[in-house]
A and B are shown apart, each in its own frame.
Chain A
């Protein structure tokens, strides 16, 4: 609420907020200037506090990852004793599964990302460009399913996968990721398709282009930005998700990164917090970078996907 005072030409006495006459009567330039400064100082202080609150845990985790002591206790935050031991351990120690987990996650990510992007762009194309029977119901169903996280059916998924033998199998995980992501991603892409002028595909149709040709040669190239966002998003999701792997996967050699890292801090390995921190830093830095670079796109994209339908 420290805002807008620039546009207001009068100093606003906080005790007399509502009386217009008094506000207009008091025009004291000096008073206004000091008030202005005070306000700015207050604003910077608040932002400074927020910076500390935001950076402290992140910096702390980074510092822990550079410590040689495995436990939390006695870890030092000063850079003088830092070393890369934990990182080296993750990659070179024969007892470390980090690279296996990395490979698993990459495998899941690549398949989920490519299949989802393909399926979703097909679905979104139909919903955006065609008026067919059941379209509205379909949109409603998608919107509704988007509200139900796959997780809600975890009892069923667990038993289902168990029954068909896909428990502790990366393919089971892949299937759930793809299926569960369809409604939300389809909305995202559909929203984008809707913004591409229809006259483009209509003129192509005049020239005798078929459905697929319009799709592949006109719409897809124009929709590259959103498709790359969807692909990227689905690529990163398995790196960040912890619950589904927790439900589906059982044996350590099948773990994805998130689940593996969690097991570092889980009861039986509780002494390995610094290794967890090292592994986490390695995931968090690339992902956070991507997110920050694409933030505008991701946030507005998600927003339009959720509101526009």
Chain B
């Protein structure tokens, strides 16, 4: 067996060992270790990606016992890409937010913060690579707790309240997910994805339809559990506070990684457990579609009303999650591809928004209020430019990542005659609303103000400047070299079934 096949398992264990060591090492070393772990994950998943690109997907038994007796993980093109991308975003977010991290987080808590980030990465990787429903649940738990830790590491009343809200909603989601797994186990007798899928195909083809009701309930529970955890519209109430008041690195990671991990898990469950055709035939897909559409518009409306830049960006996330679920709801291969591409483009853009907003706030005496940010684009040139790029990408200006995902959504919608009209109308409305609040902010950044704040020269913070440049490059790369990315996504989704 080639050595590359060991890499997914090794990268998960490496993150865990990094977290364990972080609890005893001195502070400086934990930071270096954290960056080393993330770089290691990126390198290993890069190898996995190129290996699967030429050799196809593979399963790796975690131990001596093959499925259905032992644990398994599975890697394909999409998994490798996702793992690499998560590592990259985390690397840039942590480095980019470092300047505020030292101010926001007490010295005694800094080691603990890196335990959380390492374990967060390990849980994301496990959720990406898993081929076992129960393993997925265990790592969903780790993900929930570490996200809570990331929120409340800044200790004030707001973050504690946000963390409690997050905890309550997230545990509700985990509970529903667990009940769903239990019902699936009861009717299939397996927990590993491949045997469960075979059994579900038998159940669906069974003319007596003995277990059809439990199957539909289980699918509904799995979907709603993960939808609550990834903040689909009516379940978004925990999100603005959690993203808005935590330290910048946390906000960037929460918005672009945590919710995306759950969405990727849902994609995996749709393809590898339920089977795309059975999922499409169930009515649940229409519910996801409707909530996605509502979320696209409601999130944007909420964002327009906000006067606080961090909360505005947070509400914009609600709208973008709506896009992704709308893509699921279309129920076609093209819709799925568009959703997966939007996971990438939104993750790259939203974390850039948060990191750039931090620079703009520094140039406005740390204020989060939009009114205070007037003219901040002149006072902090680099952050202003980066924020503009992010806003362009969010709105969907050509040559940036957001444009491609909108085009893909529109193309996918055209293929579905019934759902075409609502999708296209909502896309248009949402794009206009997006433009309303993002362009408003950009215009504000570049208008003259009377406020006398000090200019910030980003050349004095080379790490931060490099992170911004990295994010901008990532956005432009996703926008320009979209064709191979879309090809890889299609190939990865093809490997799922």
A complexed with B: no
Interface positions of B (Cβ within 8 A of A): none
